[in-house]
Structure 1
Amino acid sequence: MAIAVGAVAVCAAVAWADPTTPGGVIPPCPTYSLFGILCPGCGSSRMLYSLVHLDVPAALHYNALGLVALAVLTVSFGLWTWSRARGTPMPRWTRYRWPPHLVLILTAMWFVVRNIPVAPFTALRI
């Protein structure tokens, strides 16, 4: 219950702060501000803001990998809650060796591809 309440509180805070407006409450990404490159998390607050307003295409534009990660986390949380309510154990992803490696590879690929300065990769820039 605490996780669900925390998620709703974060969504409410992002909806209030409106990260799509420059100079708002939420500060810009430090990686982009200092180095001029987009980190894998750049656009995440704007993605969440778009999702709160049910604008999925804009959320995909701001951070597609973050949207996929959020969907996986939401499904995992739902499955975990369902298995706890039924009293049955949920299969654990931690017993497999590949999930951390896959997450690291996908994040590194997103970081590199997003910063390639030629078309069609420039469409991934925000």
Structure 2
Amino acid sequence: MAAKSTNRRLFIAIGILVVLVGLCVYFYFDPSDSAFFPKCAFFSMTGYKCPGCGSQRAIHAMLHGDALGAIRYNAMLLPAIPVVVLLFVAEFNRERWPRFYS
């Protein structure tokens, strides 16, 4: 039982570290000016914007406090963040809150 708890804590710590490193990269580098950020494959092939287009620029704008700029880049990203956080919290507390899933 202790090994399962230790593995879970390690997994959560690594996940938090990856997210923090990613946020630092998006804070210090502008996706529209940097060449190492991935480009949208759907937009490259079709010329049409997908629902995820602009999300990298929106994250960069949000990290710099520009909420209106983030909405201009991708209007669905800002409202989706609390939903994703809620889903992660629910998933990691599945055993603690079993009635949440019934």
> The TM-score by the shorter chain falls in which range?
0.5 to 0.7
SS of the aligned residue for 2:56 comes to: helix
**Segment of structure 1 superposing worse, 72-81 or 48-57:** 72-81
TM value normalised by structure 2: 0.67
Matched with 1:29 is 40
| Unaligned residue ranges in structure 1 (runs of 5+) | 96-126
| Unaligned residue ranges in structure 2 (runs of 5+) | 1-12
Q: How many residues align?
A: 89
- Percentage of pairs with the same residue: 27
Deviating above 4 A after TM superposition, structure 1's stretches of 4 or more consecutive aligned residues are 78-81
- How far does residue 79 in structure 1 lie from its aligned partner after superposition? 6.0
- How far does residue 7 in structure 1 lie from its aligned partner after superposition? 1.4
Q: Matches of 1:28 and 1:3 in 2, distance apart?
A: 24
Matched with 1:8 is 20
- How far does residue 35 in structure 1 lie from its aligned partner after superposition? 0.8
Matched with 1:20 is 32
SS of the aligned residue for 1:58 comes to: helix
Matched with 1:69 is 80
- How far does residue 78 in structure 1 lie from its aligned partner after superposition? 5.0
Q: Which has the higher contact order (CA 8 A, sep 6+)?
A: 1
The residue correspondences of 1:81-100 to structure 2 (distance < 5 A) are 88-89=96-97, 91-92=100-101
SS of the aligned residue for 2:84 comes to: helix
Matched with 1:109 is none
In the alignment, structure 1 residue 41 sits paired with structure 2 residue 52:
yes
- How far does residue 39 in structure 1 lie from its aligned partner after superposition? 0.8
Q: CA RMSD in A?
A: 2.5
